[in-house]
Amino acid sequence: MSACSRLASRGLSALAGLLILGCLAAEPVRAEPADFAYYKGKTVRIIVGFSAGGGFDLYARMIAPYIGKALGANVIVENQPGAGGITATNRMMTAPPDGLQIMLVNGLAAAFGQFTEQQGVRYDLAKLEHLGTVSGNPWVWLVTDKSRWKTVADVLNEKRKYMWSAGGPIDGLSDGAAFTCEALKIDCNIVLGYPGSNDSANAVAKGEMDMLYVVDTSAANYVAAGDIRVLATISRTRSKLFPNVPTIYEATKVPEAGATLLDFHSTAEKLGRILVAPPGTPAERLAALRDATRVALTDPALIAEGDRTQRNVEFVGAEETRKATIGVVSDPTPKQKKRMIDILNKVEKK
């Protein structure tokens, strides 16, 4: 067992999570013969389980031409919104393993959905073929710029029920809001049914909803468009995209029990945006997909484009991604799972 594997088996503390991701990036990726000739002139689809215009869609459209160039194929993006990405991820489990479709998965939401046995989940992240991680960014707390809540203290001091917009029962937006509300003892109603983070942000901007929990790369687009403001970064470190915004720990005194919840969730968030292929994809085609993913996501031109558009790319290899995913999916104890389910059961349907 490698050092990283031993770390992963010890639990999901925030420190362990950071060490896992750090050491995994240093481990070598196993070489396989790659069948690039198979891909020449073919069309490969990147499936996105959310509607067009959201963060995952924009990331997929940014990386598609680079993966296409590396493969020698035409790579297109196909949106399959539904249940916060669950529907599309389920389809990947039974998709033809021909190497012609891959998916950009919300690693956090997919992992949480699986280990809490969320209704409707039929996928197994451990059985999907991992190609690599595109990025893992901190998540932030948004409100409309017109709101009277200028700080976290303003929210905590006002005794009322707050409406948070989200998509599916576990899509990052909903579970992040649930954990934040539980950790800070805020009375919340998490409303599901929005097709993607873009729609959820529009609901906040229009005043239809009060708040939104979203990854900082998506938040940057919403803030730039106006009518949206960041209250805090839900992490122990500030977002590079919002360096002047305090972390939740700087903004308020988080109770110890609440900090444990937020640290647990932050560790899972570092799974970020994962590229996967259907189970059973032939080894030589899988090797080509993995190699193309590595070449594309380490291309200086793509990294520079990501920096310009505030969609940063921080590649983690296939085997490393798989090990980190399994660590999050498999490690929670029965007691931890029950706690997560109790929190997530507070999410109400729209």
Q: Is there a single domain that holds both residue 193 and residue 306?
A: no
In a domain, 184, yes or no: yes
Q: Which of 248, 267, 286 is the last residue in one of the domains? A: 267
Is residue 223 domain-shared with residue 166, that is, in the same domain?
Answer: yes
Report how far residue 226's alpha carbon sits from residue 214's, in angstroms, rounded to the nearest whole number: 16
Of 83, 80, 90, nearest to 125 by C-alpha is 90
- Looking at the 3D structure of the chain, how many domains does it have? 2
3-class secondary structure, 249: helix
Is 221 contained in some domain?
yes
Residue 246 lies in a domain: yes
| CATH number of the domain bearing residue 302 | 3.40.190.150
Contacts of 105 (CB under 8 A, 6+ apart): 49, 85, 89, 125, 128, 273, 274, 275, 276
Q: Which of 267, 293, 313 is the last residue of a domain?
A: 267
In a domain, 349, yes or no: no
Which are the contacts of 154, defined by CB distance < 8 A and separation ≥ 6?
Answer: 148
Q: Provide the residue range defining the domain that includes 75.
A: 3-137+271-343
What CATH number should be reported for the domain holding residue 156? 3.40.190.10
Q: Among 212, 246, 267, which residue terminates a domain?
A: 267
Q: Are both 227 and 259 inside the same structural domain?
A: yes
Specify whether 133 is located in the same domain as 156.
Answer: no
348 part of a folded domain: no
**Same-domain pairing of 178 and 159:** yes
Task: Determine, yes or no, domain membership for 200.
Answer: yes
Can you tell me the distance from the alpha carbon of 41 to that of 312, in angstroms, rounded to the nearest whole number? Answer: 29
Q: Is there a single domain that holds both residue 97 and residue 191?
A: no
Q: Are 80 and 91 in contact (CB under 8 A)?
A: yes
Dihedral over Cα of 253, 158, 174, 182: its sign = positive
Per-residue pLDDT of the chain (350 residues; tens, 9 = 90+): 433 443 344 344 433 444 444 444 444 444 456 889 999 999 999 999 999 988 899 999 999 999 999 999 999 999 999 988 999 999 999 999 999 999 999 998 898 888 878 889 999 999 999 999 999 889 999 999 999 999 999 999 998 999 999 987 778 899 999 999 999 999 999 999 998 889 999 999 999 999 999 999 889 989 998 899 999 999 999 998 999 999 999 999 999 999 989 988 887 888 889 999 999 999 999 999 999 999 999 999 999 999 998 888 999 999 989 988 887 887 778 888 788 888 877 775 44
227 with 287, same domain? no
